[in-house]
């Protein structure tokens, strides 16, 4: 099935190919779509048989999919957890079935030892810090209050928790920076649009929007324009991911800064899957390298964006 629990759609591989069960978060953002494509293509290229399941941003769907992978006896399970906590039972089940687990993109919170082999993904705290650092430098000459509204990613998810933490760590060193409102926009365009509309209707003194991803920023831009304001001018906008649409918005002057989060980790994931299947040692944590982009760089970078 393309959605929900189930075992997922099969793809690729020969008779003795490694069988990988992958449970994806959903299709909530441009980032996610690029990530899914990268994983599917890389599996095909590596000759790995992929059973892919889309959880539609529901943890119970992911748990169901993982249980189904265990039941089918796949060789390796990989998943990108919707939220951080609540995985202990199902991870223990995979462990006792002897199926190695690889975490990708998002981390889990667990006290259990050795329930997954490795975690491949971005450093979300660092992304939040990069956003905060740019902002404090941008407003370095101003002693006035800087009122920030924050569009948070899915409540309880690693990127929402960590991006808030990294950003707050930096701005809290400066007394004039304040997050005046913060709400969950679920990493979607419609979420960003709705929450920003609510922010604007209750506050006419917003200086900065910090969006935990590009899709929410793009949705918020619609609300800012509908309110008769100029995004990127009247309200400084920072977002995370670096999808093409956000680069276009930066080139158009509507987003001021994009902190990159790279979704194209399929090839690295397949490499790890091969290694854990072969019983090779892998590093416990593998971080993805990423950059930061401003409006000056947007136009030039645009044709080279791969997602
Ligand atoms: O986990 C990565 C985040 O999830 C991306 O930043 C966001 O766009 C996606 O939905």
241 has which bridge partners?
Answer: 260
DSSP 119-152: EEE--HHHHHHHHHHHHHHHTTT--S-EEEEEEE
32 lines ligand 1 (CB under 6 A): yes
Supply the mean pLDDT for the chain: 95
3-class secondary structure, 208: strand
> Which run of H or E residues covers position 236?
strand 236-241
31 CA distance to ligand 1 middle (Å) = 6
Q: Is the pLDDT of residue 190 over 70?
A: yes
pLDDT per position as a tens digit, 131-189: 999 999 999 998 999 999 999 999 999 999 999 999 999 999 999 999 999 999 999 99
pLDDT of residue 11: 61
37 CA distance to ligand 1 middle (Å) = 14
pLDDT of residue 4: 42
pLDDT of residue 6: 46
pLDDT of residue 166: 98
Q: Is the pLDDT of residue 2 over 90?
A: no
6 CA distance to ligand 1 middle (Å) = 23
Q: What is the 3-state secondary structure (H, E, C) of 201-218?
A: HHCCCCCEEEECCHHHHH
31 lines ligand 1 (CB under 6 A): yes
29 CA distance to ligand 1 middle (Å) = 7
pLDDT of residue 181: 98
pLDDT per position as a tens digit, 203-237: 999 999 999 999 999 999 999 999 999 999 999 99
261 lines ligand 1 (CB under 6 A): yes
Question: In whole angstroms, what is the distance from residue 195 CA to residue 304 CA?
Answer: 32
Let me know: does 147 contact 178? Beta carbons within 8 Å: yes
pLDDT of residue 51: 98
| Residue to substitute in 25, 31, 290 for testing ligand 1 pocket (most ligand atoms within 8 angstroms of CB) | 31
106 lines ligand 1 (CB under 6 A): yes
pLDDT of residue 15: 76
240 lines ligand 1 (CB under 6 A): yes
pLDDT of residue 12: 66
212 CA distance to ligand 1 middle (Å) = 8
Query: Could you give the maximum distance between any two Cα atoms of the chain, in Å?
Result: 67
Q: Is the pLDDT of residue 8 over 60?
A: no
ipTM of the complex: 0.99
Q: Which of 12-16, 77-81, 178-182, 229-233 has the lowest mean pLDDT?
A: 12-16
The two three-digit tokens of residue 74, written as one number: 């796949």
| Residue to substitute in 119, 240, 261 for testing ligand 1 pocket (most ligand atoms within 8 angstroms of CB) | 261
Please indicate, yes or no, whether the overall pTM of this predicted structure exceeds 0.90. Answer: yes
Confidence of residue 5 (pLDDT cuts 50, 70, 90): very low
Among positive and negative, which fits the CA dihedral 220, 181, 121, 119? negative
Question: In whole angstroms, what is the distance from residue 217 CA to residue 72 CA?
Answer: 40
pLDDT per position as a tens digit, 48-69: 999 999 999 999 999 999 999 9
24 CA distance to ligand 1 middle (Å) = 11
101 CA distance to ligand 1 middle (Å) = 21
Indicate which residue's Cα is closest to atom 4 of ligand 1: 32
Q: Is the pLDDT of residue 122 over 60?
A: yes
The two three-digit tokens of residue 101, written as one number: 């687990």
């Amino acid at each position: 099935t393309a959605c929900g629990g189930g075992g997922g759609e099969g793809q690729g591989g020969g008779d003795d190919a490694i069988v990988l069960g992958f449970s994806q978060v959903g299709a909530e953002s441009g980032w996610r779509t690029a990530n899914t494509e990268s994983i599917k293509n890389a599996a095909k290229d590596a000759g790995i048989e992929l059973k892919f399941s889309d959880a539609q941003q529901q943890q119970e769907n992911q748990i169901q999919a993982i249980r189904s992978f265990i039941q089918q006896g796949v060789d390796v399970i990989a998943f990108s957890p919707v939220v951080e906590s609540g995985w202990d039972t199902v991870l223990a089940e995979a462990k006792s079935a002897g199926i190695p687990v690889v975490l990708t993109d998002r981390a889990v919170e667990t006290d259990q030892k050795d329930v997954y082999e490795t975690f491949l993904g971005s450093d979300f705290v660092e992304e939040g810090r990069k956003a905060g650092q740019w902002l404090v430098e941008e407003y370095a000459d101003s002693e006035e209050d800087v009122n920030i509204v924050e569009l948070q990613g899915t409540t309880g998810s690693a990127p929402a928790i960590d991006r808030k933490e990294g950003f707050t760590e930096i701005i809290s060193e400066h007394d004039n920076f304040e997050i005046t409102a913060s709400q969950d926009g679920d990493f979607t365009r419609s979420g960003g649009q709705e929450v920003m509309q609510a922010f604007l209707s209750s506050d006419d003194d917003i200086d900065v929007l910090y969006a935990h991803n590009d899709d929410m920023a793009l949705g918020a831009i619609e609300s800012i324009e509908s309110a008769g304001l100029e995004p990127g001018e009247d309200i400084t906008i920072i977002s995370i991911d670096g999808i093409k649409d956000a680069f276009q918005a930066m080139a158009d002057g509507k987003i001021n800064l994009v902190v990159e989060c790279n979704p194209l980790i399929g090839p690295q994931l397949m490499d790890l899957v091969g290694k854990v299947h072969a019983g090779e040692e892998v590093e416990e944590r593998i971080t993805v390298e990423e950059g930061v982009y401003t409006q000056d760089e947007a136009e030039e970078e645009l044709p080279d964006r791969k997602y």
